[in-house]
Structure 1
Amino acid sequence: MAAHYHQVLRRPDARPHLLLPSALQQQLRERRMRGTATLVLLGDFMGACPPGLPAGCHPAEDAPWAMLRYDEEAQRWLPLANNLPADLVSVRGYGSATLDNYLFIVGGYRITSQEISAAHCYNPCLNEWSQLASMNQKRSNFKLLAVSGKLYAIGGQSLSNVECYNPENDWWNFVASMPNPLAEFSACECKGKIYVIGGYTAREFVSMSLSALSPGSSSGSRAGDG
């Protein structure tokens, strides 16, 4: 059950507030989180060997590595998986985050500059990808953060809105807006709040303001200016 943690939460007969005891839910999550945290690199590494990989190490000449993991003891990058979904190839400017030992890749734009709203999830316990519900808004150059068991897609090119993803029902909904549209900014979570700093406004001006978003609220507030 731990290997399919989010799928278990989505089952109508096993929702935590219905039949799945909270203690069992916590036990499943703790079991899923066992192991060693690692850095993961996504890309197409066919043209040249990444740092730490010996020459001629690719799985096949016509099959590039899609994901690498960093081995701290060996101080080198090692293959993790080679099954990146076809519709994720050549996508840039996407948002990425981890939640409950799942890796999420959301949104971005293709080499044609077309923005997308698609969401994908990698499950390291099963070494497999799955497609999730798409965001309501196509967005790129935004930030994706995990806060209190949910994902938040914040801003993006000419966007100020924020969407929240709940893994229990595989659904996105709008929850808040930043004071101004913002892209290519930095963001982090601290004590349940989301802080956004820097980035570019819709008119490509550099923003020096610091904004705070409270998950569940309808708007953000400006915390300060530089």
Structure 2
Amino acid sequence: MYAIGGYSGPLGTNNISRVDSLSVVEVYDPTTDQWKTLASMSAIRCFFQTEVVDGKIYAIGGWNVKVGEYLGKVLSSTEVYDPSVNKWTTLSDMSTARHFFQTEVIDNKIYAIGGAGPFGPDNDLLSAEAFDPSTNRWTTLPSMKKERSIFQTKVINNVIYAIGGMNVTAMESYAVPTSATK
């Protein structure tokens, strides 16, 4: 079990300037009941997503903020961890900086949908994009129908279901374009 990034400090409207994003990575071995520190990510990030493809861990997007900053920076960056060499490698950026979004893996491609962009009014996103680890390339996809952040997703038969979210109570299905899975 891997613990990757996140934040330390209190979170909330009055405490946001005391939040500190992390780059630390640890792995837990249940056989020995021990935690071990691994190589850190190149970016500090919280409210990001991770996915595993072919035994490698991908860290995508998120929020990069340090104590004393108020807004920090919303990230579009992607990096991959190879456990066989304990090393992170920086990959291509998404076209859209996002945090509070969701990712799913279909046919060894990572789909990033929705979320929130840089802080400001109306920053919830409806955009979607796919990452192909074999080509290190992000591709923009058709958007969802409704902007949503802080929501959940599940995949059934290559369809991503986006459920709820900030100011959204509805569910929508997002059919991954056939061309995206090839």
TM-score, normalised to structure 1, is 0.62
CA deviations over 1:39-59 (Å, ceiling 9, x no partner): 21024899xxxxxxxxxxxxx
> For the Cα contact (< 8 Å) 1:198–1:209, is it kept in 2?
yes
Give the structure 2 partner of residue 214 of structure 1.
Answer: 175
Counterpart of 2:161 (choices 154, 171, 195) is 195
Question: Alpha carbons of 1:123 and 1:185: their partners in 2 closer, same or farther (altered >3 Å)?
Answer: same
> For the Cα contact (< 8 Å) 2:3–2:25, is it kept in 1?
yes
Give the structure 2 partner of residue 42 of structure 1.
Answer: 4
**Poorly superposed stretches of 4+, deviation over 6 Å:** none
Cα root mean square deviation, aligned:
2.4
> For the Cα contact (< 8 Å) 1:95–1:142, is it kept in 2?
yes
Correspondence list, 1:53-202, <5 A: 66-74=24-32, 76-81=33-38, 83-86=39-42, 88-89=43-44, 91-111=45-65, 112-157=71-116, 158-200=124-166
1:67 corresponds to which letter in structure 2?
V
Give 1:70 shift: 2.5
Percent identical pairs in the alignment equals 22
Higher helix residue share:
1
Higher strand residue share:
2
Give the structure 2 partner of residue 60 of structure 1.
Answer: none
Distance in 1, matches of 2:52 and 2:127, equals 21
> For the Cα contact (< 8 Å) 1:176–1:217, is it kept in 2?
no
1:126 corresponds to which letter in structure 2?
V
The answer for unaligned runs of 5 or more in structure 2 is: 9-21, 66-70, 117-123
CA deviations over 1:98-136 (Å, ceiling 9, x no partner): 111111111111114321111000011221110100001
The answer for unaligned runs of 5 or more in structure 1 is: 1-38, 47-63, 219-226
> For the Cα contact (< 8 Å) 1:165–1:171, is it kept in 2?
yes
Give 1:184 shift: 0.6
Question: Alpha carbons of 1:45 and 1:181: their partners in 2 closer, same or farther (altered >3 Å)?
Answer: closer
